[in-house]
Amino acid sequence: MNKTLKFFVQIKWRYWLAGIVFGFVLPFVLHITSASHVFIDLWFLMIINTLAAIILGSLIKANRVHWVLLWLFPLFFLLGVHFFLPNYAYYFTIIYLSTSYIAYGLTS
């Protein structure tokens, strides 16, 4: 197998990509499009990202991947908040991490 391909398989690139897209790219897109605060607060922070945290936590457990990958999405989201979102969005990092852990623990 090619060394590059082997590297991407070893680092579980799908979880990294999901963390980068939902945590950093989406806040950047919302920032440059000047999305309304209602859209950012309700749809992005509360619904879309919470569902992403639940799905990622469940997938990580179902695929028997190491639990440390649960931290990827919240850490990338923390970077996205720092650069593109209002200050109160920092608290959602804790919510997403907790939601991922709960989904991880409830998945059999």
**pLDDT tens readout for residues 18-67:** 999 999 999 999 899 988 888 888 889 999 999 999 999 999 999 999 99
Residue for token pair 């919510």 = 95
Instruction: Find out whether 54 and 99 touch, Cβ atoms under 8 Å.
Output: yes
In this structure, are residues 10 and 69 in contact, taking their beta carbons and an 8 Å threshold? Answer: no
Give the per-residue pLDDT at 2.
76
User: Where residue 103 falls among pLDDT bands split at 50, 70, 90?
Assistant: very high
Identity of the amino acid at 52 = A
Burial bucket for residue 71 (CB in 10 Å: 0-12, 13-18, 19+): middle
Q: Give per-residue pLDDT as tens, 67-92.
A: 999 999 999 999 999 999 989 999 99
Q: What is the CA radius of gyration of the chain?
A: 14
